[in-house]
Amino acid sequence: MRQLLTVVLLSVLSAGLKPAFAANQAEILFKGTLVTPPPCSIDNNQIIHVPFGDRLSIKKVSDGIYRKDVPYNLVCENTAGRDWKLMLSVRGTLATFDTTDKATVATSSGNPGNLGVKILRNGQAFPFDSPIEVSLSAMPRIEAVLVQRPNIELVEGPFEATVTLRAEYL
């Protein structure tokens, strides 16, 4: 009986003791201004042709000797007074054999799956879909080098590969 009385008494006392919480709230207002970034044009929006030539030895592709500059001209409107970052990136169908650099476009014809064109920026691999910040006053050198899947023999014939060079302000 004494235990029952203690339990009932504790229940009655604890029922009246509720912690007091103060309710606070705050509104959050989001504001901003949308603006259109300045337009840029690479080579007047024309295709940039990089001919490797018609007499490339299939036995020397693996040596990396077939290397060409990618001549491009980037023109962007003035961004004075604005804090824009000019970004440059490259995109294409990645060659399945380039699992390290992720900078080689697969050829769409001629040795498909075995021949590719690796894109370089200032002599280093330029990974696809990895924008870099650049300056109009010091644009990077872009190069293309023929590469092949290791330990295969290429076959004679023409080849073609395409990438997209993209410039945009962020």
Domain containing residue 140: CATH number: 2.60.40.1090
Give the pLDDT confidence score for residue 19 in this predicted structure: 58
Structural domain includes residue 5: no
Structural domain includes residue 165: yes
Contacts of 133 by beta carbon, 8 Å cutoff, 6+ apart: 85, 86, 87
Dihedral angle of Cα 59, 141, 38, 103, to the nearest 10 degrees: 40
pLDDT band at 20 (very low <50, low <70, confident <90, very high): low
The parent domain of residue 73 ranges over 40-169
Question: Each residue of 25-58: pLDDT tens digit?
Answer: 999 999 998 888 888 899 999 999 999 999 999 9
Whole-model pTM above 0.85?
A: no
